Every structure is written in structure tokens, then in C-alpha cells.
Amino acid sequence: MEEAIFKLNNVYFSYLGKYPALCGVSMDILKGQKITILGANGSGKSTLLQLLDGLIFPDKGSIFAFDRQLNEEVLNDEAFSRKFRSKVGFVFQNPDVQLFCPTVEEDISFGPLHLGVNLDVVKKRVNDLADSLGIMSLLRRSAHQLSVGEKRKVAIASTLAVDPEVLLLDEPTAGLDPQTARHIIDIIIEANARGKTIITATHDLHIVEEIADTIYIMSNEKKIAKSGATQVLLADLDLLKTHNLMHVHRHKHKDEAHIHSHQHLDHHT
């Protein structure tokens, strides 16, 4: 049996003590797993990832990461925090939160330099990642002047530059053109093949089969409605419909407008 690197036990979290965002979530995440969190807008996906990254802490219940309970005190411990930050990387849903340096090059270098990685190693990582993601020409620019998709690529590069064991990716393909999205998926698959644990939140069912072996579906009550093997849950159309994971389309047959739903996996013909 693989070791559990994260253990969540009946975790509750609310913003400002009055906006519930997670209501009793328990899960074990094993080393090397590929997990996707699915669920409607506001069901708690981003909140769950922020808890796993130790950015916020449960109101009730507990989270253990690498056998230590995550709380404010533990993450204020410089030695633990440094170790934790080098092991766990987070690509935020909103790349603006993550990019704050004068140039893209500095944004990508920031994490590994901060964690004490040798300058030459950092330079090589920045170059390799920029080359692989096709953002070499952006290195001297400010991230604030970039398009949404370009910002997302820089945010992904800045997280990968740390080479963490666990990658938390919040909507990693949102706003990306199809080829770039494909490339990000390949990077995720390749990282997992090298033993990295991958935890994503997404609405894009097209990519789930490739980036997840296990799915957790969050409900509007901000609990886990169902978890299980990707193939099994993606085949449960009623479940997907209940949790807003189906498209609703309006189109015309002859002169009559029809509205019907279909899952994201269906192909448009």
C-alpha cells in the first residue's frame, strides 16, 4: 500500500466565519496518485486546494501532510515551511495572484531562488521551461502586460520551476488555446510518470480521463458527493448532470429552437 501524503479528516472551512466553503470533507491522497476535483461553481474546489497548500486552515477537523498536522503554527516554523513549500506547488486559478515580480524571468526564478536552489540550476530550469512552454520571448516582459493564457503559462512555469513532489493545479487549462492545453496536459502526465502526485480542479471533462485516475465530485452542499475511479464516475451521466457537469445547448432544428443537455465528453457534430 502506498503511503498517504495528505490525510483530511472531517474538514470544515468558512470564509470570515460566515461563508461556508467546505463542510465535512475527508480524503486520503496517496503518493503518485492523479486526482481531479470536479463540481459546480462555488462547490469548494479552490478552497480544498488552498487547504492542501497550507494557505488556509480548517475551522474544524484536521489535515495531515507528510505526517505533520497543518496549522498556522507549523507553517510559521521556518524549517517546516521551507520543506513543505519545496514539496508542494500550487498553480492558482487566477494567475494574477501568483505573479508579482517586475519580469516574467524573475517570476519563474522566484520560487527556486527563495528555496536556495543554485543560481545556475535555476537559470537552466527557467530556460528549459520557457522553451518547452513557448514563452521564451516573454521572459523580459512584465507578467501584468500579458494575455490571460500567457499569464497562465508563466504561472505554471513558476510552479514547475520549484520541481515539487505534489502539484496542485486549479483549472490549469482554462483560457488556453487547444494546442497549449494539450501541452500542459502532456506536462502533467509526464510529471506523474516521474512519480509526482497531481491534484487538479477542473470543469473540463475532456481532460479528466488523462489527468486523473481518481475523481472526487463536490456537491453544492460543499461536501464530497462521490469519489471513485475516473472511468466509473465519468460513465455515470445522472451523477454528472446532478452536479452541473453537463452542457446545456440551444440550437435550431429546421426552424424550431431546442434546448438540451449533453456532457462535455460528447463531440459536437
Ligand X SMILES: Nc1ncnc2c1ncn2[C@@H]1O[C@H](COP(=O)(O)OP(=O)(O)OP(=O)(O)O)[C@@H](O)[C@H]1O
Provide the minimum distance between the beta carbon of 33 and ligand X in the complex, in angstroms, as a whole number: 20
What torsion do the CA atoms of 178, 48, 46, 122 make, to the nearest 10 degrees? -70
Q: How far is the CB of 241 from ligand X (least distance, A)?
A: 17
Q: Which of 88, 200, 110 is nearest to 155 (CA)?
A: 110
With a CB cutoff of 8 Å and minimum separation 6, the contacts of 128 are none
Return the residues of window 90-109 that contact Mg ion according to CB under 5 A: 93
Shortest separation between residue 225's beta carbon and Mg ion, angstroms: 16
Residues that bind ligand X (CB under 6 A): 15, 19, 21, 39, 41-47, 93
- Distance in Å, CB of 201 to ligand X, minimum: 6
Q: How far apart are CA 52 and CA 42, in angstroms?
A: 17
The answer to whether 36 and 238 are in contact (CB under 8 A) is no
Query: Taking CB within 5 to 8 Å according to partner kind, which of Mg ion, ligand X, none is near residue 15?
Result: ligand X
Torsion of CA 36, 38, 41, 44, to 10 degrees: -70
Q: Which is nearer to ligand X, 57 or 110 (CB)?
A: 57
DSSP 166-186: EEEEESTTTT--HHHHHHHHH
Instruction: Select the binding partner of residue 43 from Mg ion, ligand X, none (C-beta < 5 to 8 A, by kind).
Output: ligand X
Residues 6 or more apart in contact with residue 17 via CB below 8 angstroms: 59
Residue identified by cell 487538479 is 200
Contact 13, 25 (CB under 8 A): no
Please, what is the minimum distance in Å from the beta carbon of residue 11 to ligand X?
A: 13
Which of 106/204 has CB closer to ligand X? 204
Q: Which CB sits closer to ligand X, 70 or 126?
A: 70
Nearer to Mg ion, 94 or 103 (CB): 94
Contact status: 46 vs Mg ion (CB under 5 A): yes
- Closest approach, Cβ 139 to ligand X, in A, equals 29
When the beta carbons of 46 and 192 are compared against ligand X, the nearer one is: 46
Q: CA–CA separation, 242 vs 245, rounded Å?
A: 8
Residue 105 DSSP SS3: helix
Q: Between 161 and 215, name the residue whose CB sits nearer to Mg ion.
A: 215
Among Mg ion, ligand X, none, what binds residue 112 when CB lies within 5 to 8 Å by partner kind? none
The option from Mg ion, ligand X, none interacting with 42 (CB < 5 to 8 A, set by class) reads ligand X
Positions in the binding site for Mg ion (CB under 5 A): 45-46, 93
